[in-house]
Amino acid sequence: MNLEQIKNSLTSEISPILSKNEKTKLSSVLIIIFESSPKILMIKKPITMNYHGGEIAFPGGKISKEDDDLLDTAIRETKEETGITIARKQIIGQLKPVTTLNSGFTILPFICIIDEINELTPNSEVEEFLKIPLVSFLQTLTNDSDPEHNSIHEMYVLTFENNIIWGASARMLKQITDKITNHE
């Protein structure tokens, strides 16, 4: 699958506003797909972080007062965590919101495709950058439902090298897999 096919599969309407509720905190992430042999950028968070320490995730974070909407949040947080400047016009689509089960965040994932990533500049929220070949990575997806967690209907797991991707990030990647598979 080439970059153009992936772009066609993932292009969708962008609606960067979610209704705020008392149960969850609003946040967003940016899923960056890059290079002609498509790769996806993920970050490993330091184990010392209050939320999601040690996990593999997409750049992003919670909405702040200076953000007009969740797309502003994703772009701002990506710049802070990676040094990459993304313009709103580079966003090709978004996925359905995903809620974290432990920390109570509702995350709106946005997607952009860029030609290449040159230099990455981590901030204190990034321990390591992972540039993962997209198609082979998505093929590692497994459904690891845990009968002890009645609230978890879909527990997906992906692996890259010695890293396990699960939780909200894995549910986002499952949406990407479904969109790509249904578009073929």
Contact 167, 51 (CB under 8 A): no
Give the residue, 147 or 48, on which the prediction is more confident. Answer: 48
The one-character DSSP state at 50 is: T
What pLDDT sits at residue 51? 64
Does any domain span residue 127? Answer: yes
Query: Number of folded domains in the chain?
Result: 1
Does any domain span residue 171? Answer: no
Does any domain span residue 172? Answer: no
| End-to-end alpha carbon distance in the chain | 9
The one-character DSSP state at 159 is: E
Range 12-18, long-range pairs (CB < 8 A, 24+ positions)? 12/92, 12/93, 12/94, 13/93, 13/94, 14/71, 14/91, 14/93, 14/94, 14/110, 15/94, 16/69, 16/70, 16/71, 16/72, 16/94, 16/108, 16/110, 17/69, 17/70, 18/70, 18/97, 18/106, 18/108
Contact 30, 172 (CB under 8 A): no
Question: What is the residue type of 29?
Answer: V
What pLDDT sits at residue 154? 60
What pLDDT sits at residue 41? 97
Helix (H) or strand (E) holding 145: none
Q: Tell me: the pLDDT tens digits for 95-117?
A: 999 988 777 889 999 999 999 99
Q: What is the mean pLDDT of residues 154-168?
A: 88
Scanning the structure block, which residue is given the tokens 């797991």? 157
Does any domain span residue 149? Answer: no
Does any domain span residue 69? Answer: yes
Q: Tell me: the pLDDT tens digits for 1-15?
A: 788 899 999 999 999
Q: State the Cα–Cα distance between residues 60 and 16, nearest whole angstrom.
A: 14
Q: Tell me: the pLDDT tens digits for 41-84?
A: 999 998 877 665 688 999 999 999 999 999 999 999 999 999 99
CATH code: domain of residue 64: 3.90.79.10
What pLDDT sits at residue 149? 45
Does any domain span residue 178? Answer: no
Does any domain span residue 47? Answer: yes
Q: What is the mean pLDDT of residues 81-90?
A: 96
Nearest Cα residue to 38 out of 110, 105, 119, 138 = 138
What pLDDT sits at residue 145? 54
Q: Which domain holds residue 128?
A: 3-134
Q: State the Cα–Cα distance between residues 63 and 74, nearest whole angstrom.
A: 8
pTM of the predicted model, to two decimals? 0.90
Alpha carbon distances (Å) from 22 to 25, 26, 184: 8, 10, 40
Does any domain span residue 129? Answer: yes
